[in-house]
Amino acid sequence: MPVISLWSAALTILLALVPGAAYVSVINDLTDRADDLAAGKPNRLAGRSRGLAALLVCVPVAAGLVFAVLWRHDVLLLPLYLAAWLAFSLYSLPPFRWKTRGILGVIADASGAHLFPTLVAVVLTYREAARPVDAAWLSAVAVWSFAYGLRGILWHQLSDRENDRAAAVRTFAQRHPPQVVARIGTFVVFPVELIALAVLFLRMRSLVPPAFLAAYAILVAGRMRLWGMNVVVVEPRPRFLIALHEYYDVHFPIAILIASSLRDPRDLLALAAHGLLFPRRTLQSWTDAWKLVRQRWR
């Protein structure tokens, strides 16, 4: 099906995920105030009144309840949507506060930030297309998004390790030596992510996304060679790029929309809409590519 024919699903996905993102941001700042103070980190809710904090929590929750009511009869979509909210509630809020409970915090963050929102998008798209959910596709997307989410939170915890140590926050990366955490992300999580991505490529039956991956690899190689940048999987380093992060953020969605446009030119409208919604990283990627070409051929 052309992507443009599913525009209402795309709009609904955006509107449904925004309240959850706002809720996550607020409760994270709210519950981290004491820890951020101990670590000397800024916190957007520091010094704010309880009334303002309550309002900032209640507004996104109320918006999320609207979608929960709309999807109350969908036995797959509703649990996935609520699970994203639950995952971050368990991650941040006491008495659970899984952020401080090692592996539970890693799982909760990866699930709330990547796994469940992505599955909501997939299932809602199938519902809009009036087609049964493809279990194989859903499973591949689940593994891919969860593995990428795990890499993201491991990188974040390693980057924030000293602040967590100062605040006595027992995250997974704080409980284990950094080299062990890095090895888990590099040699366990990342290969699983790559396998799942390969399955997605195979099921898409298009050469465009792999071709964009090759172009992204050339871009990264140029940055490493000419600008001295380092590619990392989870372990922070100076002048770093997180492997595949830019591909997922910029190149992958554009490649999918181009592949769809080759089948149905109407999807050029979807590609244009995507460019208008998310221009910054795309422009940065193209600017870097142009700078590298000019630098290479001087």
Q: What's the confidence (pLDDT) of residue 146?
A: 98
Q: How far apart are CA 7 and CA 124, in angstroms?
A: 11
Let me know: does 233 contact 151? Beta carbons within 8 Å: yes
Q: Which helix (H) or strand (E) holds 114?
A: none
Q: What is the pLDDT along the chain (298 residues), one digit of tens a residue?
A: 899 999 999 999 999 999 999 999 999 888 877 777 777 778 787 778 888 888 999 999 999 999 999 999 999 999 999 999 999 999 999 889 999 899 999 999 999 999 999 999 999 999 999 999 999 999 999 999 999 999 999 999 999 888 888 878 889 999 999 999 999 999 999 999 999 999 999 999 999 999 999 999 999 999 999 999 999 999 999 999 999 999 999 999 999 999 999 999 999 999 999 999 999 999 999 999 999 999 887 7
Let me know: does 156 contact 110? Beta carbons within 8 Å. Answer: no
Residue type, 53: A
3-state SS, residue 102: strand
Question: From residue 171, how far is each of 107, 110, 179 by CA, in Å?
Answer: 12, 14, 15
Confidence at residue 166, expressed as pLDDT on a 0 to 100 scale: 82
For residue 110, give the nearest of 66, 78, 71, 154 by alpha carbon.
154
Q: Where are the domains of the chain?
A: 1-205, 206-298
Q: 153 and 108 in contact (C-beta within 8 Å)?
A: no
**Type of residue found at 283:** L
Cα gap 205→142, rounded to integer Å? 19
| Predicted TM-score (pTM) of this structure | 0.92
**The pLDDT of residue 297:** 78
74 C-beta neighbours (distance < 10 Å), count: 14
